Amino acid sequence: MNAPSPNMSTDRPVIRPLEEAAINRIAAGEVVERPASAVKELVENALDAGATRIAVDFADGGKTLIRVTDDGCGMTAADLPLAVARHATSKIDGSDLLNIHSFGFRGEALASLGAVGRLTLTSRAAGHDAAQITVAGGRMADVRPAALTRGTVVELRDLFYATPARLKFLRTDRAEAQAIADVLRRLAMAEPHVGFTLTEVSGGESRTLLRADPQSGDFFDALHGRLTGILGADFTSNALRIDVARDGLHLTGYAALPTYSRGSSAQQYVFVNGRPVLDRMLLGALRVAYFDFLSRDRHPAAVLNLSVDPQRVDVNVHPAKSEVRFREPEAARSLIITGLRNALSGAGHRASTTVASETLAAMRPEARIYQIDRPSQASFARAFALQAPEAPGFAEAPTARIEDPVTLPEEGHPLGAARAQVHENYIIAQTATGIVIVDQHAAHERLVYERLKRQMAETGITAQALLIPEIVELSPTDATRLLEAAPMLAEIGLAIEPFGGSAVAVRETPAILGPINAAALIRDVLDELADAGQSHGVRAKIDAVLSRMACHGSVRSGRQMRAEEMNALLREMEATPHSGQCNHGRPTYVELKLHDIERLFGRR
């Protein structure tokens, strides 16, 4: 016989109402997960009050002190008892839970904080005296006069002292401080016209962790300035402005170039009507938008806000309000994907500036050069004379193919004119302001891929019949997977059919690839089909296979190129979208400005 459950009593259970204090502590478990949750709720209240400057102070990772000061509209003495009561709010009247235009609306935050900590609320509304109320462990004290010029100060001490078991689940002070900083950064991005400061208090000393001054100008100018301060100038200098609307949805923000990809999703920030959210559907759409440009271990960087009629999105899904539900989720997903892809197409051959910075860092010697160590100009002249070749028959490096150095790059050619090919893989081009180093195989692979996609969209990919079909022996599993994909592969010019046992016959290949090794192509296609699995749709799988196939039709490393071929490659790169990165998100070229090169040699 099974043992009785330890959670079940042998006596008949009696239903009884819970005490108000217990109710508040249970509700606090949903609303206040950690100190960062409390900061989020309090700062959102300040924003709803119309604050233009918000200061957050905390100690011990927010466990012993959280104080939020704002210059918002404030509250009167009569408002304070209602403010700390459950389900009392000024944000909505309760008649329409879909018509929400504020951050907060549930009326739970202050009551929950007062139930698990020691909460002191001091506020002053225009034309009224300042007042203060205290709530500790769910017990409310009387309202009393206070001293305050304007706005509101909320001070929360000893978080979870009334529920000490919750303290055991908190992380280290450092980890909690980082979570608080992340919450404030997200809210600062959502409201670039509002000033934010974050200060850590420890042992009587204070340390400013974040300072974001109010930004001026229109939304995009203000957001650009705010993101520069929070994410850094590297992000904003390599980000594309996003401003696209369709079907009542409006997507705004900045999305980084593919070559500015990150090793994690830490720089992905998504907002809905200015509210920071962690929505799988929206983040998934962001990932799909970059699917064509990044390898699977790289992640795009973006800050995006989706504006939508509040009636078309439900923010009342979870007490923390970090999840949303759209009435037409596909419309939102489609707008993100097409909006970002159009912006990336408009970037043309552009690659991120960090590529050059990383190149310079790799080339820069460890030893520093000081002005006093530099030879004089006269010394330079004598050295050059000594280094001049003694005989006119100066040997040229066998791996470099130097073209006519007199011809300057033409106007409108940002990638310049080819000057040499080194190690049969890298093209050196001279621009008006420096040099460009191109990886010929990576660049041409991207160009072939874009041609394949364009040809498929316009007329379908032309297939070239093989004079003698090529027979490829495979494992039974691979043969089954490949033959299941045969109809899809036929659409992109690769015709296969069973040839007995686990062998397949390749009868046609895409004409644009020219003569290729069909067996190698088949194995690459199999690798891509295995990688894609069931996680991508047919269109994505086709693009992924085309990407692999493009490798077989591109200029190989080790092939010597003539000057006209190198220049033709540069011109096609300038005219082709996305040519700044290969099919895996790596840069296809590095541009070094003249002043960067001079700095390498200690001239600057």
pLDDT tens-place string over residues 128-152: 999 999 999 888 999 999 999 999 9
Q: Report the pLDDT value the prediction gives residue 119, as an integer from 0 to 100.
A: 95
Place of tokens 């899809």: 488
Residue whose C-alpha is closest to residue 289's, from 276, 280, 299, 279: 299
Q: How confident is the model at residue 101 (pLDDT cuts 50, 70, 90)?
A: very low
For the ranges 57-71, 100-114, 298-312, 320-334, the one whose mean pLDDT is highest = 57-71
pLDDT band for position 553 (cuts 50, 70, 90): low
H or E stretch covering 65: strand 65-70
Please provide the average confidence, as pLDDT, over all residues in the chain.
Answer: 81
- Distance separating alpha carbons of residues 308 and 286, to the nearest angstrom: 17
The pLDDT assigned to 395 comes to: 41
Strand partners, 144: 132
Burial 322-351 (b: 16+ CB within 10 A, else e): eebebeeeeebbebbbebbbebbeebebbb
Strands (E), 108-204: 118-124, 131-136, 139-140, 144-145, 151-157, 195-202
Question: Does pLDDT of 402 surpass 70?
Answer: no
Residue at token pair 């073209």: 403
Buried/exposed code over 37-59 (b: 16+ C-beta within 10 A; e: otherwise): bbbbbbbbbbbbbebebbbbbbb
Q: Which percentage of the chain shows pLDDT scores above 70?
A: 76
User: Confidence band (pLDDT; 50, 70, 90) for 535?
Assistant: very low
What is the CB neighbour count within 10 angstroms for residue 72? 20
Cross-strand pairs, 245? 250
Phi, psi of 568, rounded to the nearest 5 degrees: -65, -40
Average pLDDT over residues 518-527: 83
Contacts of 149 (CB under 8 A, 6+ apart): 124
Is the pLDDT higher at 114 or at 600?
A: 114
Grade residue 492 by pLDDT with cuts at 50, 70 and 90. Answer: confident
Confidence at residue 261, expressed as pLDDT on a 0 to 100 scale: 84
Q: Sign (positive/negative) of CA torsion 527, 531, 532, 533?
A: positive
Least confident of 3-7, 69-73, 497-501: 3-7
Position 111 confidence tier, pLDDT thresholds 50, 70, 90: confident
- The answer to which of 256-270, 333-347, 456-470, 526-540 has the lowest mean pLDDT is 526-540
Q: Which two tokens mark 211?
A: 């300072």
Q: Tell me the average pLDDT across 499-517.
A: 86
Mean per-residue pLDDT, 416-435: 90
Residue 333 has pLDDT above 60, yes or no: yes
- How much is the pLDDT for 393? 43
Return the H-helix or E-strand segment holding 483. helix 476-484
* Beta-bridge mates of residue 65: 59, 157
- Overall average pLDDT of the 263-289 stretch: 89
**What is the average per-residue pLDDT within 169-193?**
94
**Domains within the chain, CATH numbers bracketed:** 20-212 (3.30.565.10), 219-346 (3.30.230.10), 348-364+399-604 (3.30.1370.100)
**Residue 9, pLDDT score:** 55
* Residue of 67 and 389 predicted with greater confidence: 67
More confident residue, 348 or 496: 496
Work out the number of other CB atoms within 10 angstroms of the CB of residue 374: 12
In the β-sheet with 495-498, what is the strand arrangement from edge to edge?
463-473, 503-510, 495-498
pLDDT in tens, 427-468: 999 998 889 999 998 888 888 888 888 887 787 788 889 888
pLDDT given for residue 22 in this prediction: 61
The rounded distance, in Å, linking the Cα atoms of 499 and 468 is: 14
Listed range (9-13, 375-379, 541-545, 563-567) with the worst mean pLDDT? 375-379
CA-closest candidate to residue 108, choices 331, 318, 403:
318
What pLDDT band is residue 20 in, cutting at 50, 70 and 90? Answer: low
Q: Give the whole-angstrom CA distance, residue 365 versus residue 172.
A: 39
Check whether 328 has a pLDDT greater than 50: yes
Task: Please state, in angstroms and rounded to a whole number, the distance separating the CA atoms of residues 544 and 452.
Answer: 12
Q: What is the mean pLDDT of residues 100-109?
A: 56
- Work out whether the CA dihedral 482, 486, 492, 495 comes out positive or negative: positive
- pLDDT confidence tier of residue 54, bands split at 50, 70 and 90: very high
Token pair 């939508």 is at which residue?
308
Amino acid occupying residue 181: A
pLDDT on residue 129? 95
Count Cβ atoms within 10 A of the Cβ of residue 287 and give its class: 0-12 exposed, 13-18 middle, 19 or more buried.
Answer: middle
User: Residue 597 carries which side chain, given as an amino acid letter?
Assistant: I
Q: Is the pLDDT of residue 275 over 60?
A: yes
pLDDT band per the 50, 70, 90 thresholds, residue 24: low
- Can you tell me the distance from the alpha carbon of 31 to that of 272, in angstroms, rounded to the nearest whole number? 20
> pLDDT at position 302, please?
96
Closest listed residue to residue 557, CA positions, set 449, 444, 448: 444
Among 306-310, 521-525, 567-571, where is mean pLDDT lowest?
521-525
User: What pLDDT was estimated at residue 367?
Assistant: 41
CB distance 91 to 105 below 8 Å: yes
Residue 392 has a pLDDT of 45
Share of the chain above pLDDT 90, in %: 37
Cβ atoms < 10 Å from Cβ of 531: 13
Confidence of residue 534 (pLDDT cuts 50, 70, 90): very low
Question: Residue 182 has what pLDDT?
Answer: 95
CA 73 to mean position of chain CA atoms: 35
Q: What is the mean pLDDT of residues 417-436?
A: 90
Residue 500's contacts (CB-CB under 8 Å, 6 or more residues apart) are: none
Averaged over 400-427, what is the pLDDT? 72
pLDDT confidence of residue 540: 63
**Region of poorest pLDDT, from 18-27, 99-108, 377-386, 444-453:** 377-386
Segment 218-227 shows an average pLDDT of 95
Residue 558's pLDDT is 74
Q: Is residue 580 within 8 Å of 257, Cβ to Cβ?
A: yes
Range with the lowest mean pLDDT among 1-10, 162-171, 299-308, 502-511?
Answer: 1-10
Of the candidates 189, 198, 155, 192, the residue with the CA atom closest to the CA atom of residue 54: 198
Residue 531 has pLDDT above 80, yes or no: no
Query: What would the mean pLDDT of 350-355 be, rounded to a whole number?
Result: 66
At residue 488 the predicted structure's pLDDT band, cuts being 50, 70 and 90, is: confident
